[in-house]
């Protein structure tokens, strides 16, 4: 029996315990956040430390900070490298499991005071708490710690399983990545597997419209005076799910929530199984027959490209953004509207290049200071590049390559160079001249 037990233990270690967050979070009516997390997994090398990111602290160090770290009963020394990065002393050999308990606290600012997109902010009817906990940095021979820039998306994270006990002020409803269960008024349990990050919103006085497509439960949440826009958001999401499922394979999660919230400098933001969309666009959706559906077509596509197939959004933002933007075009193509998108991308790419002539589709986020030319070059230019590849390769080879890329990097962090290799391998005609013309390589 001992031998058998030992074999079982060795077997588990070889497979590696998946990364897991068990958290207790509470939010007070005045926006104070208290949290505890036990983060466990398998060391991918001989580690001497664990590195965690506190993304909301990029806006202000008081928004989120670590207050303690423990290994069983032993308090661990740690240091803040910068407000968004902490190194915790933790010795663990390669292949062994680790488990660290963290305590943290923070403050959710009123929307407007946050100076960010509104993804960590509270307004009278909606609070958004994205990345409201320490996120383990990815390991790739060393800890991947990218600067948290004020434009684009800063998050670079591995998928993990989450189990969260969430306490919220009375009268608020929680909507989150993963599955929400209301245990008692103001008390939720949220569970999710393979989530690239955990985020939740708290809503008050919202309306909800449910629907489903290809077995995925979709819920559209919106202020009650925005019903027509909220229903349109749901319809676009359901249609997009159908189109993408057919061309790329099934949606990676059983549920998808779409929520109108105040945002600034972003029309939509993607999380695993959760999409935030700028409430202001709901107010003028009928005057915006192209851009309004584009928000949802784009963010739904991120469920495949970002949530499932991860990207290093700081070093290679084109990998998920060009794919998500091009995939959004497939929704419009199914509606007979691809020419409108191509026109929009053409204009965007030209405008982006004139604003930032030195940057390329494959440039890192740092090459777009203040976000100059970022959307035009990376999103629109990247989508045009993928369209040129599809034109050359033909639909069969192009979509075969995308599905293969998805298979290879499911729940991992993809590399752009590998996407280009797979496309070239699946193509029966050379693509080198297109890579040279569009990417300069």
Indicate the burial class of 74 (C-beta count within 10 angstroms; 0-12, 13-18, 19 or more).
exposed
Of the listed pieces 48-56, 92-100, 318-326, 421-429, which binds Zn ion according to CB under 5 A? 318-326
Beta carbon nearer to Zn ion, 153 or 255: 153
Binding residues for Zn ion restricted to 59-88, rule: CB under 5 A: none
Q: For the CB of residue 268, give the shortest distance to Zn ion in the complex, in Å.
A: 8
Beta carbon nearer to Zn ion, 216 or 324: 324
- Coil, strand or helix at 415: coil
Q: For the CB of residue 263, give the shortest distance to Zn ion in the complex, in Å.
A: 13
Give CA–CA dist 355/377, Å, rounded. Answer: 10
Beta carbon nearer to Zn ion, 144 or 303: 303
Give CA–CA dist 53/191, Å, rounded. Answer: 21
Longest Cα–Cα distance of the chain, Å, equals 71
Q: For the CB of residue 321, give the shortest distance to Zn ion in the complex, in Å.
A: 5
Of the listed pieces 277-285, 307-315, 322-330, 332-340, which binds Zn ion according to CB under 5 A? 322-330
- Coil, strand or helix at 402: helix
Q: Which of 266, 282, 175 is nearest to 218 (CA)?
A: 175
Beta carbon nearer to Zn ion, 324 or 401: 324
Q: For the CB of residue 198, give the shortest distance to Zn ion in the complex, in Å.
A: 19
Beta carbon nearer to Zn ion, 218 or 319: 319
Q: For the CB of residue 74, give the shortest distance to Zn ion in the complex, in Å.
A: 42
Beta pairing class for 135-136 and 47-53: antiparallel
Cβ–Cβ < 8 Å for 152, 374: yes
Give CA–CA dist 379/233, Å, rounded. Answer: 21
Cα 140–382–198 angle (5° rounding)?
45
Beta carbon nearer to Zn ion, 213 or 322: 322
- Coil, strand or helix at 423: helix
Beta carbon nearer to Zn ion, 39 or 319: 319
Q: For the CB of residue 215, give the shortest distance to Zn ion in the complex, in Å.
A: 25
Half-sphere exposure of 133 (CA within 13 A, CB side): 27
DSSP state of 316: -
Q: Tokens 């670590």 correspond to what residue?
A: 66
Of the listed pieces 208-216, 314-322, 361-369, 370-378, which binds Zn ion according to CB under 5 A? 314-322
Q: For the CB of residue 239, give the shortest distance to Zn ion in the complex, in Å.
A: 19
Cβ–Cβ < 8 Å for 166, 25: yes
Distance of CA 19 to the CA centre of its chain: 17
Q: For the CB of residue 380, give the shortest distance to Zn ion in the complex, in Å.
A: 12
Beta carbon nearer to Zn ion, 85 or 325: 325
Of the listed pieces 24-32, 62-70, 324-332, 367-375, which binds Zn ion according to CB under 5 A? 324-332
Q: For the CB of residue 40, give the shortest distance to Zn ion in the complex, in Å.
A: 31
Give CA–CA dist 173/185, Å, rounded. Answer: 9
Beta carbon nearer to Zn ion, 190 or 259: 259
Beta pairing class for 216-222 and 255-261: parallel
Of the listed pieces 42-50, 155-163, 323-331, 361-369, which binds Zn ion according to CB under 5 A? 323-331
Q: For the CB of residue 383, give the shortest distance to Zn ion in the complex, in Å.
A: 11
Q: For the CB of residue 156, give the shortest distance to Zn ion in the complex, in Å.
A: 15
Cβ–Cβ < 8 Å for 260, 221: yes
Cβ–Cβ < 8 Å for 345, 290: no
Beta carbon nearer to Zn ion, 316 or 321: 321
Half-sphere exposure of 98 (CA within 13 A, CB side): 26
- Strands in 78-82's sheet, in edge-to-edge order, are 78-82, 85-92, 47-53, 135-136
Beta carbon nearer to Zn ion, 299 or 426: 299
Beta carbon nearer to Zn ion, 324 or 397: 324
Give CA–CA dist 7/418, Å, rounded. Answer: 36
Name the E strands within 133-186.
Answer: 135-136, 160-167, 173-176, 179-184
Of the listed pieces 2-10, 319-327, 342-350, 411-419, which binds Zn ion according to CB under 5 A? 319-327
Q: For the CB of residue 54, give the shortest distance to Zn ion in the complex, in Å.
A: 23
Size of the site for Zn ion (CB under 5 A): 2
Q: Which of 279, 303, 294, 104 is nearest to 201 (CA)?
A: 279
Residues that bind Zn ion (CB under 5 A): 321, 324
């Amino acid at each position: 029996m001992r031998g058998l037990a030992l074999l079982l233990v060795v077997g588990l270690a070889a497979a590696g315990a998946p990364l897991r967050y068990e958290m207790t979070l509470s939010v007070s009516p005045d926006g104070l956040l208290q949290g505890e997390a036990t983060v466990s997994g398998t060391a991918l090398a001989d580690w001497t430390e664990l590195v965690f990111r506190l993304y909301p602290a990029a806006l202000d160090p008081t928004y989120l900070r670590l207050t303690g770290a423990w290994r069983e009963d032993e308090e661990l020394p740690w240091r803040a490298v910068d407000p968004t990065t902490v190194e915790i002393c933790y010795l663990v050999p390669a292949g062994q499991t680790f488990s660290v308990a963290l305590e943290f606290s923070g403050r959710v600012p009123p929307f407007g005071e946050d100076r960010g997109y509104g993804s960590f902010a509270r307004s009278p009817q909606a609070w958004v708490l994205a990345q409201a906990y320490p996120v383990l940095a990815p390991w790739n021979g060393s800890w991947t710690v990218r600067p948290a820039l004020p434009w684009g998306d800063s998050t670079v994270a591995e998928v993990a399983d989450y189990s969260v006990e969430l306490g919220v002020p009375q009268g608020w409803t929680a909507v989150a990545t993963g599955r929400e269960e209301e245990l008692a008024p103001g008390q939720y349990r949220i569970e999710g597997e393979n989530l690239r990050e955990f985020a939740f919103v708290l809503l008050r006085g919202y309306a909800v419209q449910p629907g489903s497509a290809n077995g995925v439960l979709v819920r559209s949440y919106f202020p009650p005076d925005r019903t027509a826009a909220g229903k349109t958001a749901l319809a676009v999401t359901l249609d997009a799910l159908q189109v993408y499922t057919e061309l790329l394979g099934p949606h990676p999660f059983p549920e998808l929530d779409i929520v109108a919230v105040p945002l600034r400098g972003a029309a939509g933001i993607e999380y695993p199984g959760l999409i935030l969309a700028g409430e202001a666009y709901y107010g003028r959706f009928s005057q915006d027959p192209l851009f309004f559906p584009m928000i949802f077509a784009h963010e739904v596509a991120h469920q495949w490209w970002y949530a499932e197939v991860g990207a290093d959004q700081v070093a290679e933002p084109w990998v998920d953004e060009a794919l998500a933007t091009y995939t959004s075009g497939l929704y419009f193509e199914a509606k007979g509207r691809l020419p409108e998108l191509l026109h929009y991308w053409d204009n965007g790419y030209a405008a982006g290049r004139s604003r930032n002539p030195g940057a390329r589709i494959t440039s890192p986020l740092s090459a777009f200071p203040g976000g100059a030319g970022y959307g035009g070059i990376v999103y629109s230019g990247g989508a045009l590049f993928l369209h040129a590849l599809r034109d050359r390769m033909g639909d069969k080879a192009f979509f075969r390559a995308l599905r293969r890329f998805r298979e290879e990097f499911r729940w991992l962090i993809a590399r752009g160079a590998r996407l280009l290799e797979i496309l070239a391998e699946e193509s029966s005609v050379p693509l080198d001249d297109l890579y040279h013309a569009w990417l300069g390589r």
